[in-house]
Structure 1
């Protein structure tokens, strides 16, 4: 039996050897898009109810003025707390992008949200690195750190046994910590031994359980992943010790948290190809779990094509397999946080408003009489037929019965909107940014964001990302 490949060594070598030469062609184009999407959802998420108590907690701690959190460029916080704020905001609406699986037995669309942990960590260290080096962090360096963390997170998520998620771990919180650590190490230019210790520290910080889906704690998982990554890198730089093979072996992370995994799936494939390019990433059209999106589009297109008015609907049936129905845990949503994990709410929003965006994800709309009544007309059904088709794609069927007895049916498009097979256009992505920035940034400021991000690799100062997205977020938390 051959020796198990050492994943920690592959990870640390990739991190320390990464440079801007990887930022070319399709990889560069997609990296810019992921950054813009991350900025968008963090802007919108910074207004979510959970951010106020988090902000009050962060401001109560004080500490060194090392970093500016996104949306609050006039505030300075310890770097790890800036990462906590930005990362939590980025996942607060569950609108951030999704990694696609490619390994055997990996359910399609159920790995991690790969952008926010490394993006928040990279942003949080931009000011600190600029102060220490006496010069701004270039856009190329920033992007290099971001895509390095993105790749490390995706590859570790691919290597670990998929039971990690199925048993209840939230991969964006657990594996997200390694993604953030990789970006932080690259931002700080740590050597291989120090980086290995940082990975070891992160392995003991990694956390997040799916029991907290539908609460403020779910986005906190991603914020905590970003915070843990920054903390791990800074501790390692100070000489803090840790196992330098912490992903591997009998007591390593894959074995304990997987349980198990297959490092051979990824050890020779870091950057070859980059996961961002193949199999790709889904940039979400809706602020809910990606598993719900094909069904929501099926509902939307069916109502449009058949000219069905919401008041004409008697009932709606959603038929799917366990990979789609299992993670969606609320029968009837009472709050917007529960709504992200309730097909009844998501389809009700489409039925009533013909859309499901920032304006629909409010407690007021979810609890309204019209929304509650529509939710009670919607049922989900496990389908043996769809289950037998496998989990390599997101499959479902929507059936609408009208009050006059007519029945309409539509299968969800497996090449769903936002997927690499049917991606949002750059214009649609900018529209998503505008939706999230509504009421926060005017059109002129939004255009400055677009101009900066679409040429970020040539920008002299990546800290401008924080300047152009400032809206005084932490001034609004009541502290």
Structure 2
């Protein structure tokens, strides 16, 4: 009984059994998530949802990170809205083997419920719950990969509900039976279609997953039941949503040395689909080379990209209409890298996407899929007009993009990313204090102290 095995592991996991490398990964994941959530709070997708749902808010127990009004709402709506905010810029963490964004649903649910508890929640306790949820979430993702994603499911949210339920069950110290019921209640709330990519609804997915998982654990804690074989049964979650079923072996690896999924988490240097990152990385490097060579952007005749096939499948939008669509356009990513030399949320504002100079360069970019290319690899060739009509191209080959497993972001780079997102919202002094607080997550006696900053 795989569902019960997960529930038993969830109940028994202790902070003392977490390797230091797992704890570090959890702290980095929460740190990155906090920055993304604050940075995404003012996005239209977040503000529309917040304003539309405000008449239905319950007792204000739980904070909305980055809200200018220091706004609070009930735990379920806080999980939903913080989950939306964390994902709306597509700047959040990625488990590269499944392209799940694991922290969003789990952390949003945990933080929402934490503030309702009438007791302190230590950093160690919070980290243990966070790790528990992410581990189960990613094992479930690996079990159904790749057919689940190929069918059109958004794997972050379809697994995120389960991960969030497991994490909240851990924090509430539910019994194994209660945790198993929570998993079942979460699993039956399958949410997330890839068709929604490029719209507000993509970020709704992890928010709703957080909300669903939190509700599942609360219901289970009060005696609500589900199937105790919700994941593995013939008509259970795994067999309904995929042609793959590797869950039993993956669940057997929970907590085993070298099998911690959170340690495989990667952090995005650019706010867009991760498969674009090699191209952006290379084009930003070429931006400086082109300047040094005395070349002009207006003399570019064409740009040839050689990329992994998934790049064109996921990010092949040639004419994005706004910032959300541009996050799924390798052509926009290449254009801003070459033209502007950077790719922060500012380069994905609607005004940049519709800028005439950006569009002109974007239209000169062509991409070819090559199955020999790894997902974090690409080749770029920029051709220029010359007096003779021919000019040797300027080329760049990216072996491993920044942010990948082989070239991870450093602590200083993660901190810089955090500052870029939070300073416009919180100001410099408050951002520095939040940053220091998050890096010290494991040392806090009560994580509810984060509310002082919001």
TM range (shorter): over 0.9
Counterpart CA distance in 1 for 2:449 and 2:384 is 52
C-alpha deviation, 1:93, in angstroms:
0.3
Q: Residue deviations 1:356-408, cap 9 Å, x none? A: 102111111111111222211112223xxx31x275x4332212111223212
Q: Identify the residue that residue 376 of structure 2 maps to in structure 1.
A: 394
Counterpart CA distance in 1 for 2:347 and 2:449 is 31
C-alpha deviation, 1:256, in angstroms:
0.3
Please give the residue correspondences for 1:26-425 in structure 2 after superposition, counting only pairs within 5 Å. Answer: 26-72=21-67, 74-101=70-97, 110-129=98-117, 131=118, 135-272=119-256, 273-277=259-263, 280-307=264-291, 308-382=295-369, 386-387=370-371, 389=372, 393-404=375-386, 405-406=390-391, 407-414=393-400, 416-425=401-410
Question: Moved runs in structure 1, 4+ residues, more than 4 A?
Answer: none
Counterpart CA distance in 1 for 2:436 and 2:18 is 18
C-alpha deviation, 1:24, in angstroms:
4.1
Counterpart CA distance in 2 for 1:466 and 1:182 is 24
Q: Residue deviations 1:93-113, cap 9 Å, x none? A: 000011022xxxxxxxx4300
Contact 1:117–1:222 under 8 Å retained in 2: yes
Q: 1:300 to 1:76 in 2, by over 3 A?
A: closer
SS across alignment from 1:21: helix
C-alpha deviation, 1:433, in angstroms:
0.4
Q: Identify the residue that residue 430 of structure 1 maps to in structure 2.
A: 415
* TM-score, normalisation: structure 2: 0.94
Query: Hey, which of these two has a bigger chunk of helix by percent?
Result: 2
Q: Residue deviations 1:294-329, cap 9 Å, x none? A: 111111223323435423322112122322221114
* TM-score, normalisation: structure 1: 0.89
Counterpart CA distance in 2 for 1:42 and 1:310 is 35
Counterpart CA distance in 1 for 2:86 and 2:451 is 14
- In structure 2, list runs of 5 or more residues that go unmatched: none
Q: Residue deviations 1:403-453, cap 9 Å, x none? A: 223212222223x21122211111111100011013112222122122212
Contact 2:89–2:271 under 8 Å retained in 1: yes
Q: How many residues align?
A: 444
Q: Residue deviations 1:122-141, cap 9 Å, x none? A: 11011112x2xxx2211111
SS across alignment from 1:229: helix
Counterpart CA distance in 1 for 2:415 and 2:296 is 30
Contact 2:38–2:85 under 8 Å retained in 1: yes
SS across alignment from 1:418: coil
Contact 1:281–1:419 under 8 Å retained in 2: no
Counterpart CA distance in 2 for 1:359 and 1:286 is 11
Counterpart CA distance in 2 for 1:95 and 1:166 is 23
Counterpart CA distance in 2 for 1:61 and 1:35 is 28
Counterpart CA distance in 2 for 1:265 and 1:28 is 24
Name which of structure 1's ranges 440-449 and 147-156 shifts more when overlaid on structure 2.
440-449
Counterpart CA distance in 2 for 1:244 and 1:74 is 41
Counterpart CA distance in 2 for 1:462 and 1:146 is 13
Q: Residue deviations 1:26-79, cap 9 Å, x none? A: 111121111110011111111211111101122121323332222248433221
SS across alignment from 1:438: helix
